[in-house]
Structure 1
Amino acid sequence: MIHDMGGKYHHGDLRAELVRVSLDLIAEQGPTTFSVAEVARRAKVSPGAPYRHFPGKESLLAAVAAAVADQLADRVHDAIEAETEPVAALAAAAGAYTRYLMERRAGMNIIYADGLQGPEHTLLHEQTRRLTDQFLMLCLSVADQPQDGLELMEQLFTQAHGYGTFYLDGVFTKQGYSTDVVVRKSVEAARAAIEGRAKM
């Protein structure tokens, strides 16, 4: 057990708690001001406690990114399973990405953050592959050529991320758009992109 700053004990899995607190911190403030010291403070542990589980800030961020990819993959899976045909499933997957980004301020911006592409971050790479494979398999099913499928996946991630970012940056909130409206617009844009690509 590890003493917290109030002299009490921190029970349970501290490593998982640090990842959870990090995700909450990013959701609240965004990734640019991320601080291990602030994570420790919020987790009520000493400033050095996180380093017993993570050698440095990069390794903690890699664990956070793996959690983001894992959670996103689950959201995308659920969105796909709720639909019966590929175009609707792919559009719903894009909407699920946008909603998650708005909720957590985390998506590809965290998963592909600088410094996290090294071979030592195995779990992150596995979860990222699980996420992207769900999109890719559907993209390939609606595209005539493999290259078209890859380009469609790139376009859908870019659009879905863009809709979420416009909301987080206040562009859509100034228009009075709720999160549900933004998700709907993301889904509609994804469907248009998918159908347009299928006609090429």
Structure 2
Amino acid sequence: MSKRGYHHGNLRQALVEAALDLIAEKGPTGFTMAEAAKRAEVSAAAPYRHFSGREDLIAEVATQGYELFADVLDYAYNDGKPSPLAAFEAVGRAYLAFARKYPGHYMAMFESGIAPGQTPELARAAERANRVLTSAAGALSARIPADRRPPAAMFSAHITAMSHGIVELYARGKPGARTPFTPEELLEAGIGIYLRGLGLIAGD
């Protein structure tokens, strides 16, 4: 008697969707391949026709997440329009929006322990997202005199760290439970302080 999995139209993607649900519920290390198979309604052995194990499955979730992330960031950046500053701020808001809308992808990307170089596909997807962030930082920091200008990659890393910290501390569970401010307000204020320190915007 055969299981449904042997006739599944797109078993690989069904397992990704099952993993996304489980990651959102239990975290990226809180489920087994057998649970993913059960959630996808296939036999316990079926997933191994597509993935070598849980890490391989999570790497695929992360790859798809980075592809979505890059699309979201690229749309927000909009080729630096209407201005480098406005585009940069839009990218920061998009970071928070992505984490809120795609929690399973976000956790697979940043909290699973899977390195961006785990697979060539994951490395390419992660690099594409990073290019959008670095381009946004580079366009804005070009206004700083060269002798005081931080490398675009460092600029981008600072904003990424700030965004990630706000996601972890204030955008999970019950937003506002630990602060009277929204995550967006916190990020906007933090970016403002950072940019003032670099002389990119005037002080109040």
Q: TM-score range by the shorter chain?
A: 0.7 to 0.9
Alignment RMSD (CA, Å): 2.9
Figure out how many residues of one structure are paired with residues of the other and give that number.
192
- TM-score norm. by structure 2 comes to 0.79
Deviation, 1:96, is 1.2
CA contact (8 A) 2:70 2:128 kept: yes
Moved more, 57-66 or 141-150: 141-150
* Letter aligned with residue 94 of structure 2: A
SS of equivalent to 2:198: helix
Corresponding residue number in structure 1 for 2:3: 3
CA distance in 2 between counterparts of 1:34 and 1:194 reads 41
SS of equivalent to 1:95: helix
CA distance in 1 between counterparts of 2:194 and 2:109 reads 24
Structure-to-structure mapping, 1:51-130, within 5 angstroms = 51-81=48-78, 83-106=81-104, 110-111=108-109, 113-118=112-117, 121-130=119-128
CA contact (8 A) 1:88 1:191 kept: no
Unmatched segments (≥5 aa) in structure 1: none
Unmatched segments (≥5 aa) in structure 2: none
Deviations, residues 96-144 of structure 1 (Å, cap 9, x unaligned): 11122123335675335435355x6011000001100001011112224
Corresponding residue number in structure 1 for 2:177: 173
Corresponding residue number in structure 2 for 1:158: 161
Identity rate, percent: 26
Bigger radius of gyration, 1 or 2? 2
Structure 1 residues 14 and 105: CA distance shift in structure 2, 3 A? same
CA distance in 2 between counterparts of 1:175 and 1:138 reads 29
- TM-score norm. by structure 1 comes to 0.80
